Amino acid sequence: MSKAAAIDIASVSKVYGATTAVHAISLKVPAGSYCCLLGPSGCGKSTTLRMIAGHESISSGDIRLGNTVVTDLPPARRGTAMMFQSYALFPHIDVTDNVAFSLKMKGVAKDERRAKALEMLKLVQMDPYATRRPAQLSGGQQQRVALARALITDPEALLLDEPLSALDPFLKIRMRAELKRLQTTLGITFVHVTHSQEEAMALADLIVVMNDGRIEQAAHPREVFERPATAFVARFMGDHNVISGRVTAATESGVTVAVPSGGEFTATGGVREVGESIDIAVRTDKVRIGASDAPGLGFTGIVDNIEYRGASVKLTVSGAGVQDFTAIVSDAAFFAAPVKVGDAASLAWGPEDSIVLGRLDS
């Protein structure tokens, strides 16, 4: 129905007085992709989105939408539409007029704009509510109206700032599926800001992990999960243990790392030099209880905590200079040889489950 545009962010910064909210980030979002900007509060994701939308000026760098440099264009001339966290519907007019509002601003005749609004309401399954006022709708319904209102301008890219954060957990999951369906149906580029890893994993085909105004990693969710680029990404995505230490041996295929007053661990990938301080990551779900059959791929420690999670059991073990190392094992594996808090336990993992994390250069 609409055409999708690629978004090219080239060395874009945002400075507010003494605060640099975004530090010279560069990112290419392919046309028609579902991109999630993910990161903790204050990392600069909303500022980045607002700069794409044109609601925030760009301190330096350029943004292109398709072949057009939009850096200095007003929001309405960029080919983007934005859906805000608070849906900001007009309370005194009905749903149809709310959706038709931007067409009214453009001088489109009443019948034509109401017909187009109804078409958009059908797209989000809200046509039965066309004559209601916003106050007569639930939060989820208001959100659908806000979506229809953003889509009526036929944007090449839809920008969404925490669109699901006001919804209850049940509705959140339903609307998540709706957003994905809409994006697939329309085929346009979506850029969605969220602080939820789960939401980003469920929706995106490009996750951009931000921290302190910089991009730590931009990749497909599977790659972000399987090959986190930095210790920040590994910790933020969860499900990884991060071990810090100094390189004592390095080959082309990997390293050995000594933990201060602790053990030595091996990890694959990432060319590193002896003496460097680095982080390695071990996936929590790849750890098993039992002695390691290779040096550097396990340790023995004391069990600090055990949480039963139904299909799995989460164990926290400290030893070999490593604190609160997490292992998630299947319930069958755990109950075959159960351990208690305070017991000594050996943990082990495979060579491919321990990887070298990169550094954040710059």
Ligand X SMILES: Nc1ncnc2c1ncn2[C@@H]1O[C@H](COP(=O)(O)OP(=O)(O)OP(=O)(O)O)[C@@H](O)[C@H]1O
Segment holding 346, helix H or strand E: strand 344-348
Binding of ligand X by 45 (CB under 6 A): yes
| Interface region with ligand X, contact rule CB under 6 A, candidates 44-52, 222-230, 291-299, 339-347 | 44-52
- Among 8, 25, 36, 47, indicate the residue that binds ligand X (CB under 6 A): 47
In the bound complex, what is the minimum distance in angstroms from residue 41's beta carbon to ligand X? 3
Distance CA 362, CA 31 (A): 28
Q: Looking at 4, 5, 21, 313, which residue binds ligand X (CB under 6 A)? A: 21
In 116-270, which ranges are E strands? Answer: 157-161, 189-194, 206-211, 214-219, 240-250, 254-258, 264-268
User: Would you say how long the chain is, in residues?
Assistant: 362
Query: What's the min distance (Å) between Cβ of 161 and ligand X?
Result: 8
Cα–Cα distance measured from residue 145 to residue 100, given in angstroms and rounded to the nearest whole number: 11
- Minimum distance from residue 162 beta carbon to ligand X (Å): 7
Given the DSSP bridges, would you call strands 206-211 and 34-38 parallel, antiparallel or unpaired? parallel
Beta-bridged to residue 215, according to DSSP, are 210
**Residue written as tokens 């600090």?**
304
Backbone angles phi, psi at 286, to 5 degrees: -100, -5
Piece of 3-11, 13-21, 62-70, 109-117 that binds ligand X (CB under 6 A): 13-21
Contact 322, 301 (CB under 8 A): yes
Q: What is the CA radius of gyration of the chain?
A: 25
39-47, 126-134, 236-244, 342-350 -> range binding ligand X (CB under 6 A): 39-47
The closest alpha carbon to 167, from 194, 186, 140, belongs to 140
Number of residues interacting with ligand X: please give it, by CB under 6 A. Answer: 12
| Region near ligand X per CB under 6 A, out of 34-42, 58-66, 240-248, 338-346 | 34-42
Chosen residue from 13, 23, 28, 42 binding ligand X by CB under 6 A: 42
Please select the residue that binds ligand X; options are 46, 189, 197, 211, rule is CB under 6 A: 46
Residue in the block written with tokens 């369906």:
181
Instruction: Please list the residues that pair with 267 across neighbouring strands.
Output: 255
User: x-or-dash pattern for ligand X, window 169-208, by CB under 6 A?
Assistant: --------------------------x-------------
Residue 39 is a binding residue for ligand X (CB under 6 A) = yes
CB of 301 to ligand X, least distance (A): 36
Position 43 contacts ligand X (CB under 6 A): yes
Phi, psi of 153, rounded to the nearest 5 degrees: -85, 5
| Of residues 55 and 132, the one with the C-beta less far from ligand X | 55
Residues that bind ligand X in the complex, under the rule CB under 6 A: 16, 19, 21, 39, 41-47, 195
